[in-house]
Amino acid sequence: DQQVKQNSPSLSVQEGRISILNCDYTNSMFDYFLWYKKYPAEGPTFLISISSIKDKNEDGRFTVFLNKSAKHLSLHIVPSQPGDSAVYFCAASPTDSWGKFQFGAGTQVVVTP
Amino acid sequence: GAGVSQSPSNKVTEKGKDVELRCDPISGHTALYWYRQRLGQGLEFLIYFQGNSAPDKSGLPSDRFSAERTGESVSTLTIQRTQQEDSAVYLCASSLGLPGPYGYTFGSGTRLTVV
């Protein structure tokens, strides 16, 4: 039972343009969300997070938006750079079982020159 | 150590054989997690150790899977009588107590291929 879904397995975007990655979840108890970035042969690394008390969190070129009513979050990367080419995972956790994050399948982003 | 270390990085084994995967967490990290990622799927929680508490084994897919951790140090994940569906990247992560707002620190993973 996949509670966190990333329906786009891949995304190609031109350098300098915006990358938009989407993530949907089904568990209404999820109240903390993270995005991880993964390069080949490396483990995922933390990118940005958002708590359910917010609808937006921004860190440099990365912004995460949360729509609780739609159970949807998105990650915006502006402007996209070649070094952003990686797999991006969305993860979520409920407070009552904090630490056991549920992950999506990932979206492979390719930034082209 | 400076990061989470996993070994081996790659393992090819014959169906039916047992395998052991090793994880060295960041020194001082009391919490340790095992996840796996099968092809085209998300990271799947397997097991969670927190200090000296009983581990949360709720994610282990069958009794062929087991994991141990001695104190707050190394953990081994053992898969007995491996099957082809066990082929996956097995990721270990650690955190200082419960993960903070930045989640866990992951290792590079062990790619297991069962032939």
For residue range A46-61, list pLDDT tens digits in order.
Answer: 999 999 999 999 999 9
- Three-class SS of residue B100? strand
Residues from chain A that touch B45, judged by Cβ atoms under 8 A, are 100-102
Distance (Å, rounded) from C-alpha A15 to C-alpha A112? 6
Identify residue B60 by its one-letter amino acid code: L
Count other Cβ atoms within 10 Å, centred on residue B54. 7
- Tell me the β-bridge partners of B6: B23
Q: What is the mean pLDDT of residues A16-21?
A: 98
- Three-class SS of residue A95? helix
CA distance B70 to chain A (A): 20
Percent residues over pLDDT 70 in chain A: 100
- Find the residue in B nearest to A46 (Cα): B102
Q: What pLDDT, on a 0 to 100 scale, did the predictor assign at position B88?
A: 97
Q: Is B103 on the interface with A (CB under 8 A)?
A: yes
A72 band by pLDDT with thresholds 50, 70 and 90? very high
Q: Mark which residues 59-88 of B lie under 8 Å from A by CB.
A: 59
Distance (Å, rounded) from C-alpha A32 to C-alpha B101? 9
- Mutate which of A38, A39, A62, A98 to disrupt the B interface (most B C-beta within 10 Å)? A38
For residue range A81-91, list pLDDT tens digits in order.
Answer: 999 999 999 99
Q: Which CA distances in Å does A47 have to A2, A84, B23, B101? A: 22, 11, 23, 11
User: By the 8 A CB rule, do A9 and A105 touch?
Assistant: yes
Residues from chain A that touch B5, judged by Cβ atoms under 8 A, are none
Q: What pLDDT, on a 0 to 100 scale, did the predictor assign at position B42?
A: 84
Per the rule left: phi > 0, alpha: psi between -120 and 50, beta: everything else, B12 is beta
Instruction: Indicate the burial class of A27 (C-beta count within 10 angstroms; 0-12, 13-18, 19 or more).
Output: middle
Measured at the CA of B81, the angle between CA B84 and CA B55, to 5 degrees, comes to 100
Query: Would the CB atoms of A42 and B4 count as touching at under 8 Å?
Result: no
CA distance B105 to chain A (A): 7
- Mutate which of B43, B102, B105, B111 to disrupt the A interface (most A C-beta within 10 Å)? B43
Question: Residues A79, A3, A52, B60: is their CA dihedral positive or negative?
Answer: negative
Distance (Å, rounded) from C-alpha A63 to C-alpha B59? 31
Is residue A110 scored above 80 in pLDDT? Answer: yes
- Find the residue in A nearest to B98 (Cα): A99
For residue range B48-105, list pLDDT tens digits in order.
Answer: 998 888 899 999 999 999 999 987 889 999 999 999 999 999 999 998 877 777 788 9
Q: What pLDDT, on a 0 to 100 scale, did the predictor assign at position B1?
A: 54
DSSP A19-52: EEEEEEE--TTEEEEEEEEE-TTS--EEEEEEET
Q: What pLDDT, on a 0 to 100 scale, did the predictor assign at position A33?
A: 94
Q: Is B41 on the interface with A (CB under 8 A)?
A: yes
Q: What is the mean pLDDT of residues A67-89?
A: 97
Q: What pLDDT, on a 0 to 100 scale, did the predictor assign at position A92?
A: 93
Is residue B44 scored above 70 in pLDDT? Answer: yes
